[in-house]
Structure 1
Amino acid sequence: MPNLLIIEDDERIAALVKRGLEEHDYQVSVAYDGLSGKKLALSQDFDLIITDIILPKLDGIDICREIRNLKPMVPIIMLTALGTTDDKVEGFDAGADDYLVKPFEFRELHVRIRALLKRNIGNTGAQGFVLKYADLEYNLHTKIVRRGGKELSLTPKELKLLQYMMQHPERVLSRSEIADNVWETTFDTGTNFIDVYINYLRKKIDRDFDTKLIHTKPGLGFIFKQG
């Protein structure tokens, strides 16, 4: 039985989500403020954490960063009324795996939860594997990325995007495919958060090197290849 934590100060929403999850055989704990949520998240073992961003005592962004530093493998879904590209980028930068804007349907949340739990189980055997392409190396266990022997500093979401691109080199990746596999969400054509992250990654991976690896294919998407 998966063990989930909900950090949500709106007691009505927390109760609805808790009841829905328990009907699907999840074990659910609830915290109604950020400080209590952080203490629970760090003191117990949860298979997945759902947190609001705007919380009393400690906001969801800070909670996410602290959990990600100490428990990097725990999937985190953010629930919030904030839905702009900048808000999503901030959440993903803090280490969130997915982002759901209120109001939302429970069944959509449940789909996101199942996808993240399935992915997390599937990834357990991949630790220690090193991805290599050209002079770029990414150790999936240590989360260390090096290009030409130089260590690069990437955020959790940049690492996930890089991993997907390195695992699918030399073919065009559409924005929809990237959204489905890196963010596990349907691509919203009204936002440009994927392009924002591609630019972040390009600055770190390509800017100081003569050979570029990340390329844009206008109208199609992006491709990871030499030259």
Structure 2
Amino acid sequence: MSMQSILVVEDEEKIARVLELELEYEGYKVMKVYDGFEGLQQLRERSWDLVLLDVMLPGMSGVDLLRRIRSGGDLTPVIMLTAKDELKDKVEGLDLGANDYVTKPFQIEELLARIRSALRTTAAPQAESENVMKVADLSVNKSTHEVFRGEQLIQLTAKEFSLLAYFMKNHRQVLNREQLLQHVWGYDYYGDTNIVDVYVRYLRNKMDKGYEPELLHTIRGVGYVLKDPR
């Protein structure tokens, strides 16, 4: 079994170092960063099994970081760390999608137990979540072929679904017409390449028109990209 990875976003270097040592002793792979922007960059560059996130951070607060990653569809388990002990602070973090909340100073044994609990909770639905791709409030279920924008079910044809699924798989990557033709229509397709533009227009009318933010963008002279612009 591969080592589970934990990202520690904590600006107090002594606390971050203690967490690193304790977690590595327990068999986790650990990276520590000291501000919210660096934490956001690490979350965008690779996948993590869990994040320990301090609330009070320089640059971007832990709450703002949590809001950014959840709005982008990132469901990585997050345990908030804070010196605050007020109910409203805990409620805010949990409402934004935190999995748990630990108040400083904490006993390392309690934190480790909460980490194990969060990892167990997210491991159970992992197989199902692998079939669901999300960008912002757009979700695509590869097993059921269902597409939702928020709570609204979007009806797509089989080809429209295949095109959207390929965009979702490669979200934030600019895809040109040749790539889309090869992967969605097949290598033996010899029709008009404008078919891509036609189907992109179909998709936009169904999944972007009337919704905020718009997710499917044209990069002039290059192709198309699916991304949350926020």
TM-score normalised per structure 1: 0.56
**CA distance in 1 between partners of 2:75 and 2:36 (Å):** 20
- Could you tell me which residue of structure 2 aligns to residue 31 of structure 1? 33
AA in 2 matched with 1:47: D
1:123 Cα deviation (Å)?
Answer: 1.2
RMSD value over aligned CA atoms? Answer: 2.5
Residue of structure 2 aligned with 1:11, choices 13, 27, 32: 13
AA in 2 matched with 1:92: L
**CA distance in 2 between partners of 1:143 and 1:95 (Å):** 19
Structure 1, residues 201-227: CA drift from partner, whole Å, max 9, x if none? Answer: xxxxxxxxxxxxxxxxxxxxxxxxxxx
- Could you tell me which residue of structure 1 aligns to residue 69 of structure 2? 67
1:26 Cα deviation (Å)?
Answer: 0.4
Tell me, what secondary structure is at the counterpart of 2:56?
coil
- Could you tell me which residue of structure 2 aligns to residue 78 of structure 1? 80
**CA distance in 2 between partners of 1:37 and 1:11 (Å):** 14
Counting only pairs closer than 5 Å after superposition, residues 47-58 of structure 1 correspond to structure 2 as 47-58=49-60
- Could you tell me which residue of structure 2 aligns to residue 44 of structure 1? 46
- Could you tell me which residue of structure 1 aligns to residue 218 of structure 2? none
1:69 Cα deviation (Å)?
Answer: 2.4
AA in 1 matched with 2:77: P
**CA distance in 2 between partners of 1:12 and 1:144 (Å):** 43
How many residues in Structure 1 have an aligned counterpart in Structure 2? 139
AA in 1 matched with 2:17: A
Tell me, what secondary structure is at the counterpart of 1:21?
helix
Structure 1, residues 158-206: CA drift from partner, whole Å, max 9, x if none? Answer: xxxxxxxxxxxxxxxxxxxxxxxxxxxxxxxxxxxxxxxxxxxxxxxxx
- Could you tell me which residue of structure 2 aligns to residue 88 of structure 1? 90
Is the CA contact 1:3–1:26 (under 8 Å) kept in the aligned structure 2? yes
**CA distance in 2 between partners of 1:62 and 1:99 (Å):** 16
TM-score normalised per structure 2: 0.55
Tell me, what secondary structure is at the counterpart of 2:102?
strand
Identity %: 36
CA 1:126–1:16: 2 relative to 1, 3 Å: same
Task: Identify unmatched segments of 5+ residues in structure 1.
Answer: 130-138, 151-227
Task: Identify unmatched segments of 5+ residues in structure 2.
Answer: 133-138, 142-146, 154-230
- Could you tell me which residue of structure 2 aligns to residue 115 of structure 1? 117
**CA distance in 2 between partners of 1:145 and 1:7 (Å):** 30
**CA distance in 1 between partners of 2:150 and 2:72 (Å):** 20
CA 1:32–1:108: 2 relative to 1, 3 Å: same
1:143 Cα deviation (Å)?
Answer: 8.2
1:125 Cα deviation (Å)?
Answer: 3.1
Tell me, what secondary structure is at the counterpart of 1:92?
helix
Greater C-alpha Rg: 2
Counting only pairs closer than 5 Å after superposition, residues 109-188 of structure 1 correspond to structure 2 as 109-127=111-129
AA in 2 matched with 1:97: N
CA 1:71–1:31: 2 relative to 1, 3 Å: farther
Confirm or deny that 1:100 pairs with 2:102: yes
CA 1:96–1:2: 2 relative to 1, 3 Å: same
AA in 2 matched with 1:105: Q
**CA distance in 1 between partners of 2:75 and 2:42 (Å):** 16
